[in-house]
Amino acid sequence: MDPQVMVPGQAEHGLLLLGQLERMWGARELTDVVLLAEGIPFPCHRVVLSAFSPYFQAMFTCGLRETRGGEVPLRDTPAQSLELLLGYMYRAQLPLSHDNTQGVAAAAFLLHIDGAFRLCQSYMLDSMDTSNCVGLYHWARDLGAADLVDLALRYLCRHFAQVCQEEEVLELDAQSLGGLLGSDDLNVTQEESVLELVLRWVEKRRGDEQSEAQAVELLRRVRLELIDPNFLRRARRRNPVLLRDAECFGMIDAALQTSYLSVAAAPPRPTLRYGMETTDLLLCLGGTDEGGVPARRGGQADLSFCFAPQARRTYYIPSPVKGTGTITAGAVTRDNSIVVAVEEEDEHRTKRLGMYRYDQSCEGSWEELCWVGYRDMYVLAALGDALYLLGGQMKVRNHYVITNSVERWSLRRGGSWLSFAPLPLPLACHCVVSLKDHLYVLGGWTPQSDRPDDEPDRLSRRVFQFDPGKDRWIECENMRYSRYRCGVATLNGEIYILGGIGCEGEDQGQSRRCLSSVEIYNPEEDTWRSGPTLPTALLSLRTNASNIGEVEGKLYLCGYYKGAGRHEIITKEILELDPKDNVWTVVERRAAMHDSYDVCLVANLNPRDLSTLTSDP
């Protein structure tokens, strides 16, 4: 018989074998070895132990002396932990709890029962938070579990600002704490928090001469030159140890003296910590490669273009698109969660929209959030901890209709999409932006039937504001131009809308054209004014996603079309608008964005987590 052929009922066959082994173990039938833990005997079968543990397999096949008498003492294994591990082997069950996990994990690690240890590791990682990650890290390090050490240390460093506030970190000895403080990977935005932790550690041990002497070594781990001089002076004044110890006093004094020097005269600044390197980036996600093929998995095509305007540097972020999906919209929440909507097909070839969130803590992966019924030409927005899906075109009874529906999904609670107050009129290809706890919807298409000979849809120049607290829409002052396929962003508390296809005034069937106009809305005064005209008439790359973002008080327009022709080629330029001089300038030519990328977002990311390639994707 071919050994690769699956025996019918093989799963049932395995369950029968497991059940019989468990029965014989419980009845002590055919047991041929006794494990002793804390003096308690555990009769077992050598073959079962060997199947799960190379440690026992080596012991029983190499004729070790301690196995000849039929009893094997396990000196460092608690009886309760051994009993649970035997249950794992004979019953395929391992009931873990907060009280028993570390004991079981240690026994599994020492006895090389790898499957059980992986279960324990998963349980501990799922239970890990800022109050216990320090203890877990040092426990795993003492045990020698390298993978768990790495995972716990990564979590500890990424959440170090919160860990600093916990009492557990103050229980570390000076050597352990110093080891952590020497890391470049601490996710702190200011070195002040590291100094505060050292001062709290010293204060907790005030009067202990040995601990006060160790303060010098801990202070050496603090990058004092990165701390505001006024903060340093206040810290020294209020901490007796820093005042008494001449070496501590001298280190702080040297850092203060450095702050007075010019950049040219000052010594090189210490290396920045991980959290100090985050910066606002323009993310141009999705798109197609030069052959018109959607940018998906494999090599550089699996990466999307990012641009750091301040440093003029290019980076690449993993693409969320898999299979045959296409990004259709995106948003960034107040707490910097990057969310994109991806149009995909299920196994029945039914279209649907999937929401994916970028997981910065997991090597740049994307996690699936939820699904929602298919529509196109809609807009996606983030406000507070919620996503909003507004308007668009839906298929109803085999007919496509433009809708005014508004649905919301909570990022915090999850669950189903909930309906909210509908838009005042059906809209598609419109724009949306969030500003001061409100959503603003601008422009787009809306159905018209009063002029049968004209286009079935008319362009809108109307603007609506949504208050989520009151679940209510109000209409704002109209724009000068009716328009769609335009860019929209906020800057200094105002809304900028630019480019697109449109016409001046109300759309009454007059000719439409590509626009170079920029309009600026002041929500406090409910007024519009003209902004700095674009260098050329241009369109956004998608009908419902903006190609513009705000970084450090400036607007950046990332790629555009100069016309609406089907063979139009993207212009891969990045334009900058500084409101101080109110002039558009080109800051990047031939940017490495994909052809016809899908959505431009602005998010605060750490360049360390991104790729840097030397060639265009």
DSSP 232-263: HHHHHHH-HHHHH-HHHHHHHHHHHHHHTS-T
Token couple for 364 = 């740049």
| Main-chain dihedrals φ then ψ at residue 84, nearest 5 degrees | -65, -35
Q: Give the pLDDT score at 20.
A: 80
Whether 471 contacts 413, CB under 8 Å? no
Q: Which residues in 179-206 are b (16+ Cβ under 10 Å) and which e? A: ebbeeeebbbebbbbbbbbbbebbeebe
Q: Give the pLDDT score at 504.
A: 95
Residue length of the chain: 617
Q: Give the pLDDT score at 225.
A: 93
**Nearest-5° angle of CA 397, CA 398, CA 403?**
70
Question: What string of DSSP letters covers 282-331?
Answer: EEEE--B-TTS-B--SSGGGGEEEEEETTTTEEEEEE----TT-EEEEEE
pLDDT tens digits, one per residue of 254-293: 999 888 776 667 788 899 999 999 999 999 998 765 444 4
Please, what are the averages of pLDDT over each run of 10 residues along the chain (617 residues)?
Answer: 56 79 82 91 92 91 71 91 94 93 96 96 95 95 95 94 93 92 94 94 85 88 94 88 84 88 76 93 79 45 87 90 77 94 84 90 82 93 96 87 96 93 96 96 87 75 97 98 96 97 92 95 98 94 87 95 77 95 94 86 93 60
**The domain 278-607 is classified under which CATH number: 3.60.21.70, 3.40.50.2300, 3.30.420.300, 2.120.10.80?**
2.120.10.80
Whether 178 contacts 218, CB under 8 Å? yes
Q: Give the pLDDT score at 292.
A: 40
Distance of alpha carbon 352 from alpha carbon 375, whole angstroms: 8
Distance of alpha carbon 56 from alpha carbon 150, whole angstroms: 28
CATH class of 155-275: mainly alpha
Give residue for tokens 């998995």.
Answer: 297
Coil/strand/helix, residue 419? strand
Q: Give the pLDDT score at 220.
A: 93
Q: Where in the chain is the domain with CATH 1.25.40.420?
A: 155-275
Which residues, 6+ apart, have CB-to-CB distance to 7 below 8 Å? Answer: 13
pLDDT tens digits, one per residue of 19-61: 788 888 877 888 889 999 999 999 999 999 999 999 999 888 8
Q: Give the pLDDT score at 332.
A: 96
Q: Give the pLDDT score at 549.
A: 96
CATH class of 15-127: alpha beta
pLDDT tens digits, one per residue of 87-111: 999 899 999 999 999 999 999 999 9
Q: Give the pLDDT score at 464.
A: 98
Distance of alpha carbon 484 from alpha carbon 442, whole angstroms: 9
The CA-based dihedral angle spanning residues 587, 588, 593, 595, taken in that order and rounded to the nearest 10 degrees: 100
